Amino acid sequence: MACWTNHAALPRSVDEQECLKVLDELHRLDQVPWDGPTGIYAICKYGAKVWFAEGYIGSPVALRKWTQAQDMRKWEKIQQQMSQSPHSTANGQSSHQAYHIANAQGEPLKDQQERLQAILANGWESDPDPGHPWSISDADIALAHDSNTKQSLPDQKKEGTP
C-alpha cells in the first residue's frame, strides 16, 4: 500500500484490505510483476501521482475496473501511458506524447517559473512529466513548497517589537 499512500492519501471510504486484495489479484490473475518499469509498484505510483490528482481514480481498488471508454482495464491504460515517451518511435517517427503540464496546443510548458507554479497549484510533489530537460526536480519542488508554506504563515512578532 505504501507504493500508493506515499503519493496520495486513500479516501476515508476506501477499505485498505480491499486495496490489498486488488493488488494481489493484479499480480496473481493478471500476471503483472510487482517490480519493473510497468509493474504494480510503478502503476500505483503513477496512478496516485497522476490519475488520482486529476480525478480519474480514487484508490487502487479501481485498477482492475474498466476505463470510461470500456476499451481496457485502468491498470492497462496506466501502463500504456507510462510506456509512452518522447523517445519511443513507430516507423521512425516520434510518437505523440500527452503532457500533463501543457499549453493550449498540447506542447509542454518549458518555462521553469510557469511550470513550477502549475506544479505548486496542483499540490504535486514531483513533475508529472519527468525525464525532460525542462522537468523540475523533486528537490526544487520541495524547496518551493517549503518556501510557499513559510510565506503563507503570518509574521510572528515578539512583544515590544514594532
What's the pTM?
Answer: 0.53
Question: What is the domain partition of the chain in residue ranges?
Answer: 1-85, 100-152
pLDDT bin (cut points 50, 70, 90) of residue 155 is low
List the alpha helices (DSSP H) in 31-99. 40-46, 74-83
Lowest mean pLDDT among 75-84, 116-125, 143-152: 143-152
Return the closest-CA partner of residue 61 out of 69, 53, 52, 70.
52
- pLDDT digits 0-9 by tens, 17-71: 999 999 999 999 999 999 888 889 999 999 999 998 888 899 999 999 998 888 8
- C-alpha cell of 101? 503540464
Average pLDDT of every residue of the chain: 80
Specify the pairing of strand 93-94 against strand 89-90.
Answer: antiparallel
